[in-house]
């Protein structure tokens, strides 16, 4: 399994996350599906006291830990091994729609709305009061959950990637 290299979607989510952190000073952040660790490292550099990076790729977690030992790394499929609550959860989701014959694709690329819906449903159990979730999704497989669109980028092929914000009270 390869480690996801940051792309436009990563930088879009990073921009929205930086804006939220600088305005709200959260104490605990979970970077779900951390990949390269770009979001976890940025959060720690912005002063978030406890940053947890989770991923299903052990090599990704090893690289994150080598780069910054202050980041807590947890091997987890979504919230399977997460045992605490956070002020903010960020997730650059595998938002590409998945066809039935694509189930063997690398999970860093595809999962689609069913995967995102499952993540959002579980996320509320891992947020502190007034916590938020920042996540990416595609215009090719839009989500139905009520959320706020924080930012977006449109690619040459017409696909738009959005950063959504879900607030849990």
- How high is the pLDDT of residue 151? 82
35-53 burial, b for 16+ CB within 10 Å, e for fewer?
A: bbbbbbbbbbebebebbbb
Confidence of residue 27 (pLDDT cuts 50, 70, 90): very high
Q: What is the mean pLDDT of the chain?
A: 87
pLDDT of residue 105: 46
**CA–CA distances in Å: residue 13 to residues 23, 75, 86, 103, 135:** 16, 22, 18, 26, 7
The predicted-structure confidence for 122-163, as pLDDT tens digits, reads as follows 999 999 998 999 999 887 766 666 677 888 888 888 878 888
Q: Mean pLDDT throughout 77-101? A: 86
Tokens standing for residue 124: 């509320």
- How much is the pLDDT for 49? 98
- In this predicted model, what pLDDT tens digit does every residue of 94-103 receive, in sequence order? 876 655 544 4
In order of their start, the domains of the chain are 8-168 (3.40.50.150)
pLDDT tops 70 at residue 110: no
């Amino acid at each position: 399994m390869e480690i996801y290299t940051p792309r436009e979607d990563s930088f879009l989510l990073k921009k929205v996350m930086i804006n939220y952190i600088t305005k709200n000073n959260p104490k605990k952040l979970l970077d779900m599906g951390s990949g390269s660790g770009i979001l976890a490292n940025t959060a720690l550099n912005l002063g978030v006291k406890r940053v947890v990076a989770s991923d299903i790729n052990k090599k990704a977690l090893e690289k994150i830990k080598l780069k910054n030992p202050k980041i807590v790394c947890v091997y987890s499929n979504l919230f399977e091994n997460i045992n605490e609550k956070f002020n903010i959860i960020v997730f650059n989701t595998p938002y590409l729609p998945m066809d039935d014959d694509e189930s063997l694709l690398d999970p860093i690329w595809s999962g689609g709305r069913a995967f995102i819906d499952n993540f959002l449903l579980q996320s509320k159990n891992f947020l502190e009061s007034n916590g938020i979730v920042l996540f990416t999704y595609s215009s090719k497989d839009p989500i139905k959950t009520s959320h706020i669109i924080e930012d977006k980028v449109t690619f040459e092929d017409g696909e738009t990637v959005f950063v959504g914000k879900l607030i849990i009270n």
